[in-house]
Amino acid sequence: MFVSGQVDPFHHLKILPNSDGTITRLRADPLTHPTSDATVPIPVLTQDATINQSSKTFARIFLPRRALHNSSKNLPLIVYFHGGGFVLFSAATHFFHDACLNLAKDTNSIVVSVDYRLAPEHRLPAAYDDAVEALHWLKSNPHDWLRNHADYSNCYLVGSSAGANIAYHAALRVAAQTNSHGINYLEPLKIRGLILSQPFFGATQRVPSEVRLAEDPVLAPHVCDVLWELSLPVGVDREHEYCNPRGGDGGVILERVRELGWRVLVSGCHEDPLVDHQIGLATLVAEKGVPVLTSFSPTGSHGAEVRDPLHQNRLHHLVQNFIAPPPSIHNLSPQNSA
C-alpha cells in the first residue's frame, strides 16, 4: 500500500481500518453549533435543517444578517459540499463551518452546506445521491430563510476538494436529466454554474505534480490512493469516472452542460500534488465548449483555500466576481489560467 519510509496513510489520516470494512475515525476536530438567534450581534446567522432523517443527512444554512433588513433583493444561493476525501468531516466541522460563514459574508450570498454520508460505510455514489437529494429538498421543502431571502434562479454548486468532486458529479446528473427542450426538473431552482476549489480527482498513472510532490506533508499521493480505495465502489480502480473525469460518459454530458449555459470556475494551488489533475479537469471542460475560468496560486497546499485566510480570501474574491450579476458567458475566455 505504501513503501518503506513513507508516512503511514492511516496514521496520517487518523483512521483505523476495521475487519468489517468500516473505519474508526480518531480525529477530534471540534464541531460548531449553529446560531440562529437574530439578537446575537454576529454577521451571519446559521441553522440546521434535516434533509433525510433515515440517512441522517442535513443542511446547514448560512444567512447574512443584512438580508433580514433588505427584503427587496434576494441573495444568490450557494450549495456547498465540504471536503475530507469522502471519508472525513461534516458540515459542522469547525473549519468548514467557518469557511462557509466567511463565504456567505464575503459574497453576500446564502450558503447551504450539505452534510452527506461518508465512505467507506457508504461508498460512492452515496455522496452523489445525497447531493442530488439535497437539490430536490431545496426545490420541494424550502426553509423559511430560503423562501424569504434566496434567489432560486441564481444558484451555484460549490465544493472543496472531495466536495468539488461531489459538486461536479451532482451537476452532471442534473444536466443529464434536463431534457432537450431545456425543461428543468428542479424548477424553480436554476443552476448557473460550478465553483470547484482544489477538486479531488485522480487516475492510476501519476501526473507530474504528484511526482514532484510525492512527499507532500498535507496530502501525499499514496495517501490519496488510500482515500480512493476507501471510497470508490468495490472492484474498480482509479480510472473509474468517479475518480478520472475522462472516464465514463462525463465528457458527453459536459456537452449538455454547455447547452444549458452553465459556467465553471476551477481554482487551486501549484503546491498541491493534485494540481495537474485539476488543470486536466478544466482542460476537459473547456474542450467541450463550457466557459471555464481557472485561477491557480503559485503557493499553497491542498486545503489552503479552506484553512489559510489569505488563500480563502483570494477564493472568495474570485467567487464574488464569478457570481456577480449580470452573468455573462461572453466575457469569459475558454480558459484563463493564473
* Per-residue pLDDT at 326: 59
Compute the half-sphere exposure of residue 45: CA atoms within 13 Å on the CB side of its CA: 15
3-state secondary structure of 55: coil
pTM over 0.85: yes
CA-CA distance, 318 to 335, in Å (whole number)?
Answer: 15
3-state secondary structure of 242: coil
3-state secondary structure of 137: helix
> For residue 10, is it within any domain?
no
**158 Cα distance to chain centroid:** 5
> Could you count the other beta carbons within 10 Å of the beta carbon of residue 66?
13
> For residue 329, is it within any domain?
no
> For residue 192, is it within any domain?
yes
> For residue 336, is it within any domain?
no
> Could you count the other beta carbons within 10 Å of the beta carbon of residue 20?
8
Grid cell listed for 42: 454576529
Alpha carbon dihedral 253, 266, 226, 96, in 10-degree steps, equals -120
Domain containing 74 equals 25-323
> For residue 1, is it within any domain?
no
pLDDT tens-digit profile, the chain (338 residues): 455 568 899 999 999 999 999 999 999 999 999 999 999 999 999 999 999 999 999 999 999 999 998 877 899 999 999 999 999 999 999 999 999 999 999 999 999 999 999 999 999 999 999 999 999 999 997 799 999 999 999 999 999 999 999 999 999 999 998 865 656 789 999 999 999 999 999 999 999 999 999 999 999 999 999 999 999 999 999 999 999 999 988 888 999 999 999 999 999 999 999 999 999 999 999 999 999 999 999 999 999 999 999 999 999 999 999 999 754 444 443 444 44
Amino acid letter, 322: F
* Per-residue pLDDT at 329: 43
* Per-residue pLDDT at 72: 72
| CB-CB contact of 111 with 100 (8 Å) | yes
* Per-residue pLDDT at 318: 98
* Per-residue pLDDT at 1: 47
Amino acid letter, 26: L
Active site residues: 161, 272, 302
> For residue 333, is it within any domain?
no
CA-CA distance, 118 to 124, in Å (whole number)?
Answer: 9
Residue found under cell 467557518 = 98
- The enclosing domain of 79 has a CATH number of 3.40.50.1820
* Per-residue pLDDT at 250: 83
Nearest to 110 by CA among 142, 79, 135, 84: 79
* Per-residue pLDDT at 19: 97
Q: How many domains does the chain have?
A: 1
Grid cell listed for 278: 485539476
* Per-residue pLDDT at 337: 45
